[in-house]
Amino acid sequence: MEEKVYREILRELDRHRGYGVHTGVEEVANKFEQPYDAVRAIRSQFLQRKSIKNHYRVKDRARKHLQRWKTGVSIGDLALDLDFPPVLLANFLLMEMRHSKKRTKEMLRNLKLVKDERLRKELEEVTTRDELYTPISHNKQAAEGNRREDRLAVWLDGLKLEYFTENDLRHGTVEGKTPDFLLLKPLVWHGDEYHWVESKASFGDDYIHRKNHRGQVSQYVELYGHGMLVYWYGYLTNLQRKNYVIVDRRELGLE
């Protein structure tokens, strides 16, 4: 995806307030003729970065937000007004109510522990609506990543390629850092050889890619040579890379 198109998509998505990862996605995907799952991934990553940016601003004013809640403004409406994830806001409010960090976490995981009826109902509403910061959403994200790795494993198996995985590393088969798939014999793709494959169930934007490159991929190159980085939901065409190729699943013929 070209950088200009990506920036225009971000501007359009920012018009759709709230923290639902699907909010406005179909409209924006149709407008820019982009795959739905790519735009959904872009929105999800955009919302996560926005919440990080606003984290301390909202936390530092938790007392003020609690006072508004006490006047009758719901947690959901407060979150929408602040343009902040409702579950994170609820976390700040509970701690401002003098609950410990541990107790707050327990209450959000088990709403039966919340005695106040109004508070419990509002927490039920926001934990259902928030698609980024609940235990259920975290489990879904982890499961999605695992499914994508499994799909790549099937693809590599179909090519009759043997490999080590992170599980092999944990059991002592391989020493040092390892990507998702460390190939025993290189993968030949479009005439070039690749010695490892790393799967990312995300869209490769500048921020995500810098993080992946510095934290993992550059080390894989140093240890194992040329490799392949797979961003399942697409990537920016101007991403920097050296001694590895960036592809998405469609380029590999995967769905």
Residue 173: per-residue pLDDT: 59
* Cβ–Cβ < 8 Å for 25, 233: no
Residue 138: per-residue pLDDT: 78
**CA–CA dist 211, 141 (Å, integer):** 18
**pLDDT class for 238, splitting at 50, 70, 90?**
very high
Question: Residue 171: what are its φ and ψ, rounded to 5°?
Answer: -95, 10
Give the type of residue at 45.
Q
Q: 22 or 227: which carries more pLDDT confidence? A: 227
Task: Give the tokens for residue 26.
Answer: 């179909």
**Residue spans of beta strands (DSSP E) within 21-175:** 163-164
Residue 18: per-residue pLDDT: 78
**pLDDT class for 175, splitting at 50, 70, 90?**
low
Give the type of residue at 4.
K
Q: What is the pTM of this model?
A: 0.86
Cα 8–25–93 angle (5° rounding)?
100
Q: Per-residue pLDDT for 234 more than 90?
A: yes
Percent of the chain at pLDDT exceeding 70: 97
> Tens digit of pLDDT for each residue in 121-155?
999 998 887 778 877 787 888 888 889 999 999 99
State how beta strands 227-231 and 163-164 pair. unpaired
* Cβ–Cβ < 8 Å for 228, 197: yes
**Mean pLDDT of all residues in 22-42:** 95
> Tens digit of pLDDT for each residue in 216-233?
999 999 999 999 999 999
Residue 186: per-residue pLDDT: 96
Q: Per-residue pLDDT for 166 more than 80?
A: no
Helix (H) and strand (E) counts for the chain?
Answer: 12, 5
> Tens digit of pLDDT for each residue in 47-71?
999 999 999 999 999 999 999 999 9
